[in-house]
Amino acid sequence: MPANPRNERLSTGESAAYTSHLRVTADADGERLDRYLVAQLPELSRTRIQELIAEERVLVAGQPARASHRVVEGESVQIEVLSRPPLTAEAEDIPIELLYEDDDIVVVNKPAGMIVHSGAGQSRGTLVNALLHRLGTLSSTAGPIRPGIVHRLDRGTSGTLVVARNDAAHRSLSQQFGAREVEKIYLTLVHGRMAEDTGMIQLPVARDLLRRTRMTTKRREGREAHTDWRVLARIGTLTLLEIQLHTGRTHQIRVHLAAVGHPVVGDAVYGAPREPIVQGKKLSKLGRPFLHAARIGFVHPTLGKRVTFRAPLDEGLRTYLEEIAEAVGAPRASIDAALQEYL
């Protein structure tokens, strides 16, 4: 067997896809084993790597090691990657709110905390599972674990999401998203007081090479990303914004606002404090980014006319705004006035 090939494909055994033999270099000395492997094998998620470590499929110097093991320069690391059976989304009886439904599309008011479709580490409790139970079938264009899914919202984001019920509708919607013809309006609350009333952010977005679950605007290889913002209200040291997305990069709103020094409230991943302090008063922990997909507009795949759908501001976010208003002594009526078209 070669001493240090990057990937050695196996020709025997149905369970093993390949084995990688690695040797730790000086620049990785002291890194956690799971993070080291994510950097070396970007095709694997950190969750999948941690599963393989727990199954003792990862050996350091010939012995099983924990995910928290700190690798040392010169150490040999071997990881056996097993093939998984193909995933297929299954129907589950999960309550879900539909804002609109016909034979071609549905528009969902996705709750915060729900994942859109199955992925690494989670195959149940998703929006797709709920929709299959409610509707029976969805478009097959995106494959068996993402039926009907044309676009996504982050787990912590609530609000409007359009889903295709057949392949023709899926193709039409995908073309509109690709041509940037879909209107996507969000509400968010950010740290700091925006000096201007309107503005735009045009910074490329790419995967952060050091922290693979994050995105960054600091890599030249990033993809073009365009975000417009408008101030709805300034509440103490926070600013309530309406956001229009012209592109749809992963974490775009969150990473763009953090890059200009205004991280989204509740978004600890991009630098926001877990318990914000406003005018000397500590607020309760929100537990999610303050981000809501308030409106979506597109040309209906069959009717051929432009349609727009709205999701009222998530009740938890509205309650949080009321808590902030009380903390800074702002009248609730002023908050309601700023949110008039979103309640």
3-state helix, strand, coil in the chain (%, to 5): 20, 30, 50
Distance of CA 166 to the CA centre of its chain: 25
In DSSP terms, which residues pair with 162 in a beta bridge?
107
The string of pLDDT tens digits covering residues 85-141 is 666 788 999 999 999 999 999 999 999 999 999 875 567 899 999 999 999 999 999
Sign of CA pseudo-dihedral 124, 130, 136, 138: negative
Q: Is the pLDDT of residue 8 over 50?
A: no
The string of pLDDT tens digits covering residues 46-59 is 888 988 999 899 99
Average pLDDT in the 71-87 region?
A: 85
SS3 63: strand
CA separation for the pair 124, 110 (Å, rounded): 16
The string of pLDDT tens digits covering residues 223-261 is 999 999 999 999 999 999 999 999 999 999 999 999 999
User: How deeply is 59 buried, as exposed, middle or buried, from its count of CB atoms within 10 A (0-12, 13-18, 19+)?
Assistant: middle
pTM of the predicted model, to two decimals?
A: 0.77
List residues with catalytic annotation: 154
pLDDT computed for residue 12 by the predictor: 29
The string of pLDDT tens digits covering residues 149-203 is 999 999 999 999 999 999 999 999 999 999 999 999 999 999 999 999 999 999 9
Q: Is the pLDDT of residue 31 over 90?
A: yes
- Helical spans, DSSP H, in the chain: 33-40, 46-54, 127-135, 167-178, 252-259, 315-328, 332-338
pLDDT computed for residue 212 by the predictor: 78
Average pLDDT in the 20-24 region?
A: 94
pLDDT computed for residue 122 by the predictor: 67
pLDDT computed for residue 84 by the predictor: 66
- The angle at the Cα of 247, spanning 241 to 249, to the nearest 5 degrees, equals 90
pLDDT computed for residue 13 by the predictor: 33
Q: Work out the pLDDT band at 343, boundaries 50, 70, 90.
A: confident
Q: Is the pLDDT of residue 10 over 80?
A: no
The percent of residues above 90 in pLDDT, for the chain, comes to 72
| Long-range CB contact pairs, 280-285, < 8 A, 24+ | 281/327, 281/328, 283/320, 283/323, 283/324, 283/327, 284/320, 284/323
* Nearest residue to 57 (alpha-carbon basis) of 18, 14, 9: 18
In DSSP terms, which residues pair with 244 in a beta bridge?
185, 228
Average pLDDT in the 287-305 region?
A: 97
* Nearest residue to 109 (alpha-carbon basis) of 127, 136, 94: 127
Quote the mean pLDDT of the chain: 90
- The angle at the Cα of 116, spanning 111 to 118, to the nearest 5 degrees, equals 135
For 208-218, letters b (16+ CB in 10 Å) and e give eeeeeebbbbe
Top-confidence range, 12-16, 98-102, 332-336: 98-102
The percent of residues above 70 in pLDDT, for the chain, comes to 93
Residue with the bigger pLDDT between 68 and 16: it is 68
